[in-house]
């Protein structure tokens, strides 16, 4: 039973990575700004809150690899080490919200909604800035 659950978590992670990749194709532009917003962070952060740190980081890594495989990383290509650090590793840090997963789940079980919302906001900020 534990093996089936592990497989379910990893399959869910790959689906989240695919959703993040699809959402990252939606353009969000600000005039004269170097700010890069990605809607793909939304499912990744929610998944990391649901499943924890390791699955969240793994899903972010898969999302980064998808960027390389599909060629979206090549528009900014300077060198191989730059691509490796900028995409798989940086996107993996997007799953850092999973650090707060257990605390959020405990707050919801204890019906402490204000604490849960504060922790969700904090975890989202950590994940976005870690990436």
Decide which of 75 and 107 is more confident. Answer: 107
Nearest to 51 by CA among 91, 14, 90, 1: 14
Give CATH for domain 2-24+39-130. 1.10.1760.20
Task: Read off the pTM.
Answer: 0.83
Nearest to 127 by CA among 40, 66, 12, 65: 40
Residue 100 is encoded by which pair of tokens?
């707060």
pLDDT at 36 over 70: no
pLDDT at 46 over 60: yes
Query: Which alpha helices (H) appear in 28-111, and where do they start and end?
Result: 41-51, 53-69, 80-84, 90-92, 101-109
What pLDDT is recorded for position 25?
Answer: 84
What pLDDT is recorded for position 35?
Answer: 64
In the block, which residue shows the tokens 């993996």?
92
Residue 20 is encoded by which pair of tokens?
């993040």
Distance CA 43, CA 39 (A): 8
């Amino acid at each position: 039973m534990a093996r089936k659950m592990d497989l379910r978590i990893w399959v869910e992670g790959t689906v989240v990575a695919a959703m993040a990749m699809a959402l990252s194709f939606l353009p969000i532009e600000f005039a004269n700004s170097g700010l890069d917003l990605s809607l793909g962070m939304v499912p990744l952060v929610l998944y990391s809150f649901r499943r924890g740190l390791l699955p969240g980081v793994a899903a972010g890594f898969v999302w980064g690899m998808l960027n390389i495989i599909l060629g979206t990383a090549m528009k900014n290509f300077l060198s191989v080490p730059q691509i490796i650090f900028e995409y798989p590793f940086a996107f993996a840090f997007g799953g850092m919200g999973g650090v707060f997963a257990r605390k959020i789940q405990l707050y919801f079980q204890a019906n402490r909604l204000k604490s849960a919302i504060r922790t969700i906001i904090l975890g989202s900020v950590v994940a976005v800035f870690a990436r």
